[in-house]
Structure 1
Amino acid sequence: MENIILHKADTRGNANHGWLQSYHTFSFANYFNPERMNFGALRVLNDDTVAAGMGFGKHPHQDMEIISIPLEGDLEHQDSIGNKTVIKNGDIQVMSAGTGVQHSEYNKNQDEQVKFLQIWVIPNKRGVKPRYDQITLNQEDRHNKLQQILSPNPDDAGVWIHQDAWFHLGKFDKDITTDYHFKKQSNGLYVFVLNGDITVNGQALNKRDGFGIWDIDKVSIKADSEAEFLLMEVPMQF
């Protein structure tokens, strides 16, 4: 029997720091909800908007896989392992914090905000050498189909992390349908709607809604309007 959990967009935690507007699907910083600590190995799903010229100062991480998906604008990344790069819409960034890394993320544009998703996945290996990667995705590869953007395999499509997790993006026209088949039977799938309206296994979802499902082999997805969404398959036990 499948298990499900629904997180409507307006039930998320919210922090407004002036320069940063952040919506938290799971407990984070000053937002604590014991019912929303994680979805399996998916620990953090933050929907962030950073004001022009502002950003996150240098801060440390350890033993966490940190994924950033820019939705709008440019974000400058610097870290303690020698990287200084810019990520923008169409890119995906991953950082394995491992034994420890410090990084900063800034919106260098003085006249436009940056929107991005910050996602943390609990790794299956601790104490690894810190690692950074970013790639530019071909956005046509998600038009009316699922585009793999992350996996456990360095040689597979997208970036890779230290966990048996697979992420896909879809950008569907109205009435397009597809099935998603789980890569591992024991995993769960968390669906996050970026834009538009979709139905997943009979559950209607709207912009910024989240929906988790597990103990099932596949899910059916239908676009009820033009829609863009992120699928995150992660271990439920870790």
Structure 2
Amino acid sequence: MITSRTAQECGKADFGWLQARYTFSFGHYFDPTLLGYASLRVLNQEVLAPGASFQPRAYPKVDVLNLILQGEAEYRDSEGNTVTARQGEALLFATHPGVSYSEFNLSKEQPLTRMQLWLDACPQRENTSVQRVLLPEHTRYRLLASPDGAQQSLQLRQQVWVHHLELAPGETHTIKLHGPRAYLQSVHGSLNAITSSQAKEALVCGDGAFIREEESVTLIADTPLRALVIDLPI
């Protein structure tokens, strides 16, 4: 089973300094039927105006995955750590209650665009505070994050696999799934998604889709495509 959630259906915000699209309930946007999906709590795409920032805030015990799509960001925490990331990089923060984190757009001319995921962390697991990977252009497939850091991926504190795909028009790629749930997100581009049961959905830029009780999903790119498949067996 696959069910689309279009970009138009998502929550939105426009505060001038911040433009955002929220897949699940977040901030002022609240839908009691969309409080997350399995261990995926948050999936936001946000654009910070030049020089804008998020002031310090604390998180529940989650892994925060930031995929930088445009610009350069600086992150600081209340323990004195600072890290920067630019377009083409992904950062994973192992957050802890009681520690606050802030985010800054370092450019005075260019917006900062990034996608952010929150994934519930197992209470018993600890990890490096910050991990970073570079996503070179034109890499067709990359395991972005996993429970054990396989294939030089970011290591999560949960049984979740995050797959990153960049496909040219007409290219296809199949992702085998570990369990009954997954979420597909088009970062940009249009595609057709076909599951192992032959269920099919067409998605355009910014759309997502819930996948349930399927062994695999095949992505067929209609246009240049960048997408995430978030495998959520728990």
Match of 1:221 in 2: 219
Contact 1:40/1:234 (8 A) holds in 2: yes
Structure 2: runs of 5 or more not aligned? 195-199
Deviations 1:163-199 (A, max 9, x none): 11111111111111121111x2x24221111111100
Task: Say which of 57, 62, 65 aligns to 1:64.
Answer: 62
Count of residues in correspondence between the two structures: 229
Question: Structure 1: which 5+ runs fail to align?
Answer: none
Q: Encode CA deviations 1:52-94: one digit per residue, 9 max, x unaligned.
A: 0011011112311111001000011111344212111111111
Give the superposition deviation at 1:126.
5.3
Q: Secondary structure at the match of 1:77?
A: strand
Residues 1-238 of structure 1 mapped to structure 2, 5 A cutoff: 3-125=1-123, 128=126, 131-142=129-140, 146-154=141-149, 156-182=151-177, 184=178, 186-201=179-194, 202-235=200-233, 237=234
Contact preservation (8 Å) 2:50, 2:106? yes
Task: State the Cα distance separating 1:155 from its structure 2 match.
Answer: 5.1
Runs of 4 or more above 4 Å deviation: 126-130
2:197 match: none
What's the offset of the Cα at 1:224?
A: 1.1
Identify which range, 121-130 or 47-56, moves more after superposition.
121-130
Give distance in 2, aligned partners of 1:167 and 1:141. 15
Normalising to structure 2: TM-score of the pair?
0.92
Whether the 8 Å contact between 2:64 and 2:93 is mirrored in structure 1 is yes
1:128 is displaced (CA, Å) by 4.2
Query: Structure 1 vs Structure 2: percent identity of aligned residues?
Result: 25
Residue 174 and residue 81 in structure 1: after superposition, are their counterparts in 2 closer, same or farther (change >3 A)? same
Normalising by structure 1, report the TM-score: 0.90
